[in-house]
Chains A and B, each alone.
Chain A
Amino acid sequence: MTPTREFLENLKQAPRHIRESMLRNGKMPETDRERSQSAFHNVFLHLQSVRVHRHSLRFAYTFGLGLILTASYLVLTLTGILLMVYYKPGAELAYDSVKDIHFVVPAGRFIRNIHRWGAHLMVLAVFLHMARVFYTGSYKRPREFNWLVGLALLALTLGLSFTGYLLPWDQLAYWAITIGANIANSPREVTDAIGITAWFDPGKLQKQLLLGANYVGQEALIRFYVLHVAVLPLALAALMGVHFWRVRKDGGLSRDETRPAPPARIGDRDVQVFAPNKTYGLMAVVRGRTPEVGRAPEGTVSSWPHLLWAEMATFMFTIMVTLALSYFFDAPLKEMANPAIPENPAKAPWYFLGLQELVSYSAFMGGVGIPAIVMAGLGLIPYLDRDPSGVGVWFGGPAGRRTFWQSLVFGLASVLALLTFTVNFGWLRAWYPTIPQIAIIIFNPATVIVAMYSAWSLGVLRRTGSIRLSAVALFTCFLAGFVVLTAMGSIFRGPNWQFYWWPNQWPTH
């Protein structure tokens, strides 16, 4: 072959060679073995394991919530970058630029709606995901640390939502920043009450870090913008990586390992494979429950195509839901920020209204104290409940199911009773106007409800002797409290945060 012919031949073959070089094993796989290799050799596919347990693919076990979260994150990143093209983070410019995105920019309204609905979906899914993981006991050894990573992801998701709804610089945004910054300042309630503010003032430091000034303005907006578009998304992406990696390294999704696994499916045959009982040199470097070592592929199927199909279906579902909501319901944009007049009532998005109800008892307890107690309590769950049984079974079995229903009834009844009392009779300040603030910080409806729930959970512990059941009781109570307080803040609070059965009873003003 002459050099010229070789050159021409290579040129002719170039498209095929480029295509082959893109996939490390050169072609689309046809057998299970080739599919495994394709997954190994592809940077995106190797995030997943090569084989996946049949149980992990059951929709009724996971409801696809983790995948819905991943899909929402991708949708939000993409639409967020698009919105950044037009959004201007200036106190004078922000409102008009969002208005332009809504009314002038081609497809701007739709993209903004998707961003907003994606965010709501993500917040909803993150709560449901946590409940699923909790009730199936999936936080137990060896998955304790991934539960902590998940909690950090929950906090970051809420942080992203909060910083996000400030950016339009409308009335909602302005008063949310004002309230948020003052919640950051609320440790002052405590330092003032014990008289040490002059020497130790963490509240002021937090407020200054958030606002960068003495008032809510340009400095605050740019800080929240940087948090929203850079700091928090990067932190979220990094922790998502850790979360996924730990899911795989901790042995895939949790399942009940006491039950015999169904046979593995290899090619188109169900095969019973037995675990190797030889010691491999590899064992010295790969320890513990890494799937490939010391375990047979029982109950597994090839990730390609089974897991890929499931993922694609969940992604399509997420996108379909966000698109449908975005088509029918526009993201709100209120009047331009007006520092002189708050809205009445000034309400945060639904997922913060439970907290808003709590801060209406005590700013420090509702905004800092109780959230910190709840996060600490959630974080400790896997380290307090060390009993390895009941993993992968909803509520851990019939006893847990019973505890769940009892705790749900108790949680709902007690929070409803307490709210009824508070709405009808007020609280300490209404009876003793001169009472010191520290008494209200320690004893208010929010702390009372936490005390009642803790007492109930301890009662379950004493009665059943099971830490797992008392954890189920506490988690269920807090879930009930969260739902009721959120409904209270969203539906039943009107002007001046007064109780009303229906919004049409609100006085006109």
Chain B
Amino acid sequence: MPDLRRRDFLGLAALWSAVVAMGAAMAGMMRLPKPAVLPGPLRIYKLGDPAQYPVGSATRLEAGGFFLFREDQGFHAISSVCTHLGCVVAHTEGEGFACPCHGSRFSVDGSVVGGPAPAGLPWLEIVLAPDGQLQVNAESQVPKGTRFRV
């Protein structure tokens, strides 16, 4: 623009620097609601002596949000949080899991068999704590079919 006058140029520069400053200030303010630390309880659960869970048992751990199963091959833990929208699924022996909110269905090993859930229920990591207790880490997933033998 050859015929941009000095006065107009300075005016435009002032206007745009104000716009940029406002934009940067807004972006800076938006830093606040994005949490730097995500508070939350530790999701590692100690479940006591493995011997107290007989073979063939299914135990629901409400606080942990998972089911603990013991079968002939060993222990496994399956999350009870539906992969669709986060409701808590119910377990029926031999049938699998059903979600009350939007009707997702999962087989006994947690695979989706119906409804809107995009993925199967995750299997969770089980270890034996140094004090001899069974310990489930609900933050850590393991491949489906991973059993834990005591």
B74-124, CB < 8 A from A: 84-88, 90, 98-103, 111-116, 118-119
Q: How far is the CA of A496 from the CA of B88 in the complex (A)?
A: 11
A residues less than 8 Å from B102 (CB atoms): 356, 359-360, 497
**Does any Cβ of A come within 8 Å of B38's Cβ?**
yes
Bound complex: CA A181 to CA B101 (Å)? 14
How far is the CB of B90 from the nearest CB of chain A, in Å? 8
Q: Which residues of B contact A266 (CB under 8 A)?
A: none
Contacting A359 at CB < 8 Å: which of B88, B113, B116?
B116
Is the beta-carbon distance between A342 and B103 smaller than 8 angstroms? no
Q: Complex formed: what's the CA distance from A429 to B102 in Å?
A: 14
CB neighbours (8 Å) of A340 from chain B are 62-63, 88
Q: How far is the CA of A363 from the CA of B118 in the complex (A)?
A: 8
Min C-beta distance of A435 to chain B, whole Å: 10
| Nearest opposing residue in chain A for B39, CB measure | A213
The reply to whether the CB of B143 lies closer than 8 angstroms to some CB of chain A is no
**B84 shortest CB reach to chain A, Å:** 6
> Using a Cβ–Cβ cut-off of 8 Å, how many residues does chain B contribute to the interface with A?
29
A450 to B137, CA, bound (A): 43
The answer on a CB contact under 8 Å between A496 and B86 is no
Interface assignment of B145: CB less than 8 Å from any CB of chain A: no
With a cutoff of 8 Å between Cβ atoms, the chain B residues found around residue A182 in the complex are 84-86
State whether A342 and B87 are in contact (beta carbons under 8 Å apart), knowing that A175-B101, A359-B102, A498-B103 are contacts in the complex. Answer: yes
Q: How large is the interface on A (under 10, 10 to 19, 20 to 34, 35 or more residues)?
A: 35 or more
Looking at the complex, which one of A192, A208, A212 makes contact with B118 (CB distance below 8 Å)?
A: A192
Q: Are A429 and B112 in contact (CB under 8 A)?
A: yes
B33 partner residues in chain A, CB cutoff 8 A: 209, 212, 223
| Nearest Cβ on chain B to A235's Cβ, whole angstroms | 15
Residue with the greatest number of chain A CB neighbours at <10 A, chosen from B41, B87, B99: B87
B40 within 8 A of A: yes
Q: Determine whether the beta carbon of A215 is less than 8 Å from that of B41.
A: yes
Is chain B's binding surface mostly helix, strand, loop or mixed?
Answer: loop
State the CA gap A172–B112 with chains docked (Å): 26
* Interface residues as binary, A348-371 with B (CB distance below 8 Å gives 1, 0 otherwise): 000000001001111100100000
Min Cβ gap A442→B in Å is 13
Residues of chain B with a CB closer than 8 A to A361's CB? 116
Asked if A198 CB lies within 8 Å of chain B CBs, one says: no
**With the chains together, A497 CA to B103 CA distance in Å?**
5
> Is A159 positioned at the interface, with any CB of B under 8 Å from its CB?
no
B2 within 8 A of A: no
A316-373 with Cβ < 8 A to chain B: 339-346, 356, 359-363, 366
A359-B102, A429-B114 given; A214·B85 CB < 8 A: no
A–B pairs, 25, beta carbons within 8 Å:
A178-B87, A179-B86, A181-B86, A189-B118, A192-B118, A193-B118, A205-B34, A215-B40, A219-B35, A223-B33, A340-B62, A340-B63, A342-B100, A344-B100, A345-B100, A356-B102, A360-B115, A363-B84, A429-B112, A429-B114, A429-B115, A429-B116, A430-B113, A433-B113, A497-B101
Residues of A with Cβ closer than 8 Å to B?
175, 178-179, 181-183, 186, 189, 192-193, 205, 208-209, 212-215, 219, 223, 339-346, 356, 359-363, 366, 426, 429-430, 433, 437, 440, 495-498
